[in-house]
Amino acid sequence: MKQLKVLFALTILALTMGSCNNLSSGWMSSSSATNEVLTIIDSTEWKEPHGRALFDVLNSPMLGMPQREANFKILHIDPRNFTRTFKMARNIVEVDISNMYTEAKLSAEINKYASGQVVLTVKAPDKDAMEVFLKENGDKIVDYLVNKELERIGQWLMKDSGTPKTRIRTTFGFELDYPKGLSNLTEDENFFWATNNSAESRQDITIFSVPYTSETIFEKDSLIAMRNRVLGEHIKGSFDSQMSTSRAMPVEYRKLEIDGLFRAELRGLWEMTTDMMGGPFVMQAFVNENTNRVIFVDVLVYAPEKRKRNLIRNMEGTFYTIKITDPVESN
């Protein structure tokens, strides 16, 4: 309980500071930490099965991590304590149980109390229906909140990044923004690599391209093989090691669309073949129709004995800044 009170106190301080800093804008910006979710549910119900179901959804493990890390840091307050300060939180999930509902459902509101904010409301006619709905739709809730978080990170990167845009635009025909500090650059024909080269919290991004020949290049095994070949050739380490995709756990694969651009995505662990280095990575591949080439953007982190969720998600925000440039702009 003491630890919980301290956590709340720190959150109130952070939210209050964020609110004060944005009073002049007329519409206050949301605050609180990245990847943090504030849950609004009666304290007694929080301990009941439907409350535990909500906790389990938000506390679910993030995919592609070497150790278990929850998708979100969870804060909880009783609705009676949901004051103006807490309404500045960037991610809010509240529950509404009422016999006015005939079935359980989910609603989302953007910028309800502050700009840049997401408020999800889980509605149900009773507690049992609430529990069942949360268990059946947990992945959708997590995906929605994660996507909104990555969108925010992308918007921040577009305002404050360290990307050599001209080089990337000239070489690959598209633009993106990645975090500051990745100042160690390696470039080759159709290959770009930036890293902060940190021994404790390393972040890397690589970009490379190959000619588009067929849709089979977007199949899971093809993507893994291409990643291993190109990154293995360019990223070397001690003891004759080279970058590779680890098979210690399954590589997650999906197809998605962001801002109208189709992508295929891999998510898993990278490793150096004869070394002890490794960590999480995310790679997306897409076609630049202006050049008829497939672009691969790969982000990874190396942070031994540290939490990696925020590090890798800060890099993932890069995917939400990708923009294929007009051929005229690229010249």
Q: Which of 86-90, 144-148, 219-223, 327-331 has the lowest mean pLDDT?
A: 327-331
Residue 201: exposed, middle, or buried by beta-carbon count in 10 A (0-12, 13-18, 19+)? middle
Report the percent of the chain where pLDDT is more than 70.
89
The CA distance from 79 to 81, in Å, is 5
Model confidence at 30: pLDDT above 90: no
Q: What is the pLDDT of residues 186-199, one digit of tens each?
A: 999 999 999 999 98
- Give the Å distances, CA to CA, from 236 to 173, 228, 240, 241, 325: 27, 12, 7, 6, 32
In the chain, % helix, strand, coil (3-state, to 5) comes to 35, 30, 30
Of the candidates 223, 181, 230, 228, which has an alpha carbon nearest to the alpha carbon of residue 207? 230
Q: Do β-strands 323-324 and 202-211 pair in parallel, antiparallel, or remain unpaired?
A: unpaired
Model confidence at 117: pLDDT above 50: yes
pTM for the predicted model, two decimal places: 0.88
- Give the Å distances, CA to CA, from 264 to 77, 151, 200, 259, 331: 39, 18, 30, 14, 28
Q: What per-residue confidence (pLDDT) applies to 253?
A: 98
Residue 8: exposed, middle, or buried by beta-carbon count in 10 A (0-12, 13-18, 19+)? middle
Of the candidates 121, 122, 126, which has an alpha carbon nearest to the alpha carbon of residue 109? 121
Q: What is the pLDDT of residues 140-169, one digit of tens each?
A: 999 999 999 999 999 999 998 889 999 999
**Domains assigned to the chain:** 2-155 (3.30.379), 160-330 (3.40.1000.10)
DSSP 218: G
Angle between helix 127-159 and 309-316 (nearest 10) = 60
Report the sign of the C-alpha dihedral through residues 320, 321, 327, 330, in that order.
negative
φ, ψ at 301 (rounded to 5°): -135, 155
CA atoms within 13 A on the CB side of 91: 23
The CA distance from 68 to 81, in Å, is 31
Of the candidates 229, 193, 215, which has an alpha carbon nearest to the alpha carbon of residue 287? 215
Q: What per-residue confidence (pLDDT) applies to 60?
A: 98
Q: What is the CA radius of gyration of the chain?
A: 22
Looking at every residue in the chain, the average pLDDT score rounds to 90
